[in-house]
Amino acid sequence: MELIFRPKFHREFDKVSNKHIIQRLNVIFKQIEKASDIQQIGELKKLEKYSSYYRIRIKISEHYDYRLVLMIRHNKVWAESIALANKIFYKR
């Protein structure tokens, strides 16, 4: 699958300082690039009110509970957002 990063994702990624989160993101991105369909992407959960949005939960500890939000259409994956769980857009 083709992985595309949105400008908003780059801004949010720069704010992440936890090394474990960054390492976990690298593993997820490699997994996405190797996948041929969405079933091969681990821990992916579809967001209920959105037709093509998914999230991956990244929990390192009690204080670091992040969500990676992805938009998947056909064979392309857009990295939309990475943020703490209480600051993510779909919880509004």
Q: Give the residue ranges of DSSP H helices in the chain.
A: 7-15, 19-34
Give the CATH number for residue 24.
3.30.2310.20
Signed CA dihedral, 16, 81, 64, 61: sign only: negative
In the predicted structure, residue 85 carries a pLDDT above the cut 90:
no
- Domain extent, residue 40, equals 2-91
Q: What per-residue confidence (pLDDT) applies to 53?
A: 94
What are 11's two structure tokens? 């801004």
pLDDT digits (tens, 9 = 90+) for 3-19: 999 999 999 999 988 89
Q: Are 29 and 21 in contact (CB under 8 A)?
A: no
**C-alpha–C-alpha distance, residues 91 and 52, integer Å:** 17
pLDDT digits (tens, 9 = 90+) for 29-54: 999 999 999 999 999 999 998 999 99
How many domains is the chain partitioned into structurally? Answer: 1
The pTM assigned to this predicted structure is 0.87
Signed CA dihedral, 13, 18, 23, 25: sign only: negative
